[in-house]
Amino acid sequence: MPDAVAPPADGRRSDTLPDAPAGPPPGADAPMLELAGLHKRFGPEREVLAGIDMRLHAGERVALLGESGVGKSTLLNLIAGLERPDSGEIRLAGQPVHALSEDAAAVLRAREIGFVFQAFHLLAHLRLWQNVAIPLLLAGVPAAEARPRAEAMLARVGLGDRSLSMPRELSGGEQQRVALARALVHGPRLILADEPTGNLDPRTGGAALALIDEQVRAHGAALLMVTHSLQAAAIAERRLRLTPAGLETET
């Protein structure tokens, strides 16, 4: 299918990322994240997302609920610029994610987004501190500074003594915590979390949620969290349910 996303006025996707705006403080009218008329299809017969509209402000925590297969993870991938919408707009801190090149989208992710992947996506050949340091290194932080920051964040998730371990030496729950540390280490302005407590016991999950909440408050970040957990959804001020018809507000 041809790319139906509106490119910039000159007809080309943007290969560069402008200097980041200061960003709205918590409570400001301008949203940190705005989705408008977002559509995504997989094949001609399956429309996963149909006309999604959403605003998320700095400091706001939103839980995204819905049945398996309805498109929740796909929506997070679109917001992060990992996939392309078929039509519609995605703006993050004023930047048109839908119109950025792959390289520019990668820069935006490294600078603004912390993504807790459901499948972890740890690099098997890197030690834990190196995995956690990836967003810092991509943002240009020197390795001499990135390593102690990564190790400090590993300590925050209870893995301070495992910084030299390899991902294969960890349980699923420990890998989940490393993925969380990597998502938060650079103080992102948008946290996208895909089932962040799915592999954690209630006590460890509660500690992980407390850390996410702390980061939201400390950095004025916005949080969009996919979850089936009532414990996780409880930290959100808003709950949205994704259905085949679109987004609905949970009361």
Q: Evaluate whether residue 160 is within a structural domain.
A: yes
Overall number of domains in the chain: 1
Domain interval for residue 215: 58-83+96-249
pTM: 0.84
* Residue ranges of the chain with per-residue pLDDT less than 50: 1-14, 16-28
Task: Give the Cα separation of 182 and 156 in Å (integer).
Answer: 11
Q: What is the pLDDT of residues 195-207, one digit of tens each?
A: 999 889 999 999 9
Output the CA torsion 145→150→153→74 (10° steps). 120
pLDDT score of 160: 96
In a domain, 243, yes or no: yes
Give domain status of residue 185, yes or no: yes
SS3 per-residue string spanning 17-42: CCCCCCCCCCCCCCCCEEEEEEEEEC
pLDDT, tens only, 221-231: 999 999 999 89
Token pair recorded at residue 30:
């301008």
In DSSP notation, 123-192 reads: -TTS-HHHHHHHHHHHTT--HHHHHHHHHHHHHHTT-GGGTT--GGGS-HHHHHHHHHHHHHTT--SEEE
Query: What pLDDT is attached to residue 4?
Result: 36
User: Interior CA angle at 145 toward 190 and 200, to 5°?
Assistant: 50
What pLDDT sits at residue 22? 35
Q: At what angle do helices 143-156 and 172-184 cross, to 10 degrees?
A: 130
Cα separation, 121 vs 127, in Å, equals 13
Residue type, 67: E
Check residue 100 and report its DSSP letter: B
CATH code: domain of residue 197: 3.40.50.300
Cα 169 from chain centroid? 26
CA angle 77, 52, 13 (to 5 degrees): 55
pLDDT of residue 24: 39
